[in-house]
Amino acid sequence: MSILSKLKETAICLNAGRVTMPYPFESKPVPERFRGRPIWDHVKCIGCAGCANNCPSREILINDICQEIRILHYLGRRCTYCGRCADVCPEDAITMSHEFENGTNKITDLQQRLELFMSTCQRCGRCFKGQSPLEALKMKGYRADDLANDRWVFKSTAYLPGQPILEDLTIELEG
Ligand code: SF4
Ligand code: SF4
User: What is the gyration radius of the CA atoms in the chain, in angstroms?
Assistant: 29
Q: Judge contact between 109 and 100, C-beta under 8 A.
A: no
pLDDT score of 85 = 95
Q: Which atom of ligand 2 is nearest to the CA of 54?
A: 1
Domains of the chain: 31-137 (3.30.70.3270)
pLDDT score of 114 = 94
Q: Judge contact between 154 and 142, C-beta under 8 A.
A: yes
Pairwise CA distance, residues 18 & 28, whole Å:
14
On the CB side of 172, CA atoms within 13 Å amount to 6
30 Cα: distance to centroid of ligand 1 (angstroms): 19
Give residue ranges with CB within 6 A of ligand 2.
Answer: 40, 45-51, 72, 88-89, 91, 93-94
**pTM of structure:** 0.64
Question: How many other CB atoms are found less than 10 A from the CB of residue 35?
Answer: 16
Pairwise CA distance, residues 79 & 77, whole Å:
6
Q: Which atom of ligand 1 is nearest to the CA of 58?
A: 8
Residues of the chain with pLDDT under 50: 138-139, 158, 166-168, 175
- Residue in 41, 54, 134 with CA at minimum distance from that of residue 95: 41
Q: Which atom of ligand 2 is nearest to the CA of 44?
A: 3
123 Cα: distance to centroid of ligand 2 (angstroms): 25
pLDDT score of 171 = 57
